[in-house]
Chains A and B, each alone.
Chain A
Amino acid sequence: MIDLKDIKKSYFVGDRELQILKGIDLKISRGEFVVLMGVSGSGKTTLMNIVGLLDKQTEGRYTFENIDVGGLNDETLADMRNRYIGFVFQQFFLLPYLDAIENVLIPVVYSKKGIKHPREKAKGLLAKFGLEHRVHNKPAQLSGGEQQRVAIARALVNDPELILADEPTGALDSKTGGEIMHLFKMLNNEGKTIIVVTHDPKLATFGKRLVRIEDGAISEDITT
């Protein structure tokens, strides 16, 4: 599903070139649960952005679902993100003016797939995560854990193959964080491919595979 070959990424800070990723080779297949671990500054978020088609590598070749995404334009990339990837972020990023179900429905607005009965589906996802009584609450009225569960429902509404989560527990206490990780485990058992990016060593054991990034390169890749 994901095939990264010698991915390099560098930024220019002034006229000094700053190399964030120094040649990453990584293959991830359907149904995996990968925890991408690294300290801040290791390049893990940059890697996730590239994997999530939000950013482009400077060098190397990235094949996603057998498509070389290197030369794709904005519109096609946007459509691929919408079709294949569900994002979950540390700060939840729910839109404050929409209630829970409307937040869940955001990907549907941009979807070309034509999902049937999206409202029922969104409601079902919220119910699945124990939020049936929160359907019409605004984000400000929800707890952190509840907000993150709404965000996960949003990531799932379009039936993507891949869930990409960037520090999904970073803004939550450890108990709630654990609940969220169990949720990912459950989704993985249902067949979703999941990548969780984190610096928190406690989360390492949740995945089936642990990839450690240090200083822009993969230092460890073990299947647990």
Chain B
Amino acid sequence: MALFQKISQLKEFVEEVIRILYYYRGRAVFSFSGIALGILSICIIVTTIDGANKKAQEIFEMLGPDSIMIFGVGEKQRAARIRTSTLKVEDADLIARVEGIYDLMRVYSARNVMMRYRDRNWQTLVIGSTTNYFDSLAWKFQTGVTYTAEDYANAGAVCVIGARVYDELFKDEDPLGKTILVGKLPTRVIGVLEERGGSFGGPHVDDRIIMPLTTVTSRIVNEKRYLSLVRVKTNRDLDRTIEDIRITLRQSHGLQGSLDDDFTLRSSKDILAFVTVISGSLLLFLGTAAVVALVVSGFVLANLFYLNIQERKKDIGIRRAYGATRKGILLSFLFESVLITFIGGVAGILLSVVLGSTFENLFDIPMMFSLKVVVFALFFSFLTGVLSGLKPALTASRIEPIEAIRG
């Protein structure tokens, strides 16, 4: 059956529904704000999860799929925020001998070290590491170079600074060759790292300076025996290498039987898994919120529609008298309902764009806005519209014209 003879009739139909919505805008606003909230949640879920996945992929690529980190603190101590390291310098030498390991990076880090340049102060994380630090992390330089093996051997007072530190201490000044105070040690800046962004629960990744390990352990803190972290790369199976390192370290630390590890092993796989868990719980919480919001607003919409039909009985009657079929009435009411949810959906998408950037800045959650989100959101608003509008529209279409006209 051709419901609309001409495009102009379709246009007339659509325009009429828009007028109806405008006339009953008081109640339409109610319904569509609920829909907007639901769609907003859906948008935030999708963008956040996409963002988190993208971030996870970035981390994965940044760390390298073959890398393992060894922290000198056990899981339990980590949980209790105890930071006393148990990872000895000799441990690193032992780990280096584990089969398959081809790159080993040693780190000793000192938190909250005060730095000074001219009249500017900034507290940051000081990382002492081996010369392969930047290659290992695939971290490029904005300007300058890394410290040399010679600097490392001589505990040279040189440093590479993170993008954040550069912003805080130098603003737009050229930092290369300038001397800053790191703690009490005058140190020459030889390089600036590219900005990486993100924080993952800790301090901002760009808020750090990197110096030769020897310089940090001998001239900034006095720590010759322990390391904070060792990071290795393996060309063997990741899990087998991890197991070998564990055995080596337990032996070295004299841990026997059921005693817990006093160190922590982490691979990039773990980080990926962690992000997956986070996006999973996000999906659960926001997903529930979204579904509840959509269902509730769907019911609100359906109810308002029922009221509406009572009020518009005469409207229906007159249309039926003038040739509207049951199908026509059904479609017109359905279209009205879908239009409300559609407007709500669009509002939700727009809101999520606005709120998304706020979110990103506030909580440092990366958001990935994409066409997928729009399609997803519009689909759900359409679905809500059809589901909540169907029953009332059916009721409306079953009203007999004479009954409607009689009132």
Contacts and interface: CB of A to CB of B under 8 A. Distances in A.
Interface of A: 49, 52, 54-55, 74-75, 78-79, 81-83, 87, 89, 91, 93, 95-98, 102, 105-112, 114, 118, 154, 158
A190 to B, nearest CB: 21
11 contacts: A49-B402, A54-B402, A75-B327, A82-B322, A93-B314, A93-B317, A93-B405, A97-B24, A102-B16, A107-B323, A111-B5
User: Which of B24, B321, B324, B326 gathers most chain A CB within 10 Å?
Assistant: B321
Interface string B1-43: 1100110110011001001101110000000000000000000
B401 interface: yes
B19 A110 contact: no
B246 interface: no
Contacts of B323: 78-79, 81-83, 107, 110-111, 158
Interface of B: 1-2, 5-6, 8-9, 12-13, 16, 19-20, 22-24, 314-315, 317-328, 400-402, 405
Contacts of B319: 106, 110
SS class, residues of chain B in contact with chain A: helix
B12 A105 contact: yes
A52 B20 contact: no
A81 B318 CA distance: 11
Contacts of A91: 314
A114 B5 contact: yes
A183 to B, nearest CB: 19
Contacts, number: 81
Contacts of A96: 23
Given A49-B402, A95-B315, 13 more contacts: A54-B402, A75-B326, A78-B324, A78-B326, A81-B323, A82-B322, A89-B405, A93-B314, A96-B23, A97-B20, A110-B322, A110-B325, A112-B2
A87 B13 contact: no
Contact of B19 (A54, A98, A114): A98
Given A78-B325, A82-B322, A108 B12 contact: yes
B12 A107 contact: no
A105 B401 CA distance: 19
Nearest first, the 3 A-B pairs at minimum CB distance are A82-B323, A97-B23, A110-B323
Contacts of A75: 1, 325-327
Contact of B321 (A54, A111, A114): A54
Nearest to A138: B23
B307 to A, nearest CB: 16
A55 B23 contact: no
B14 to A, nearest CB: 10
Nearest to A97: B23
Nearest to B6: A114
Nearest to A49: B402
Query: Most A CB atoms within 10 A — which of B8, B23, B318, B320?
Result: B318
B19 A102 contact: yes
Contact of B324 (A52, A98, A105, A110): A110
A97 B319 CA distance: 14
Contacts of A112: 2, 5
A75 B402 CA distance: 16
Contacts of B318: 87, 89, 93, 95, 106
Given A49-B402, A96-B23, A81 B5 contact: no
Given A97-B19, A102-B16, A107 B1 contact: no
A175 B309 CA distance: 35
B325 A52 contact: no
Given A54-B402, A96-B23, A105-B12, A87 B322 contact: yes
B23 A109 contact: no
A110 B324 CA distance: 6
A79 B402 CA distance: 16
Nearest to A113: B5
A55 B402 CA distance: 7
Contacts of B1: 75
A223 B13 CA distance: 44
Nearest to B15: A102
B127 to A, nearest CB: 69
A58 to B, nearest CB: 14
B322 to A, nearest CB: 4
Contacts of B22: 97
Contacts of B8: 118
A74 B324 CA distance: 10
Contacts of B5: 111-112, 114
Contacts of A110: 319, 322-325, 328
Nearest to B24: A97
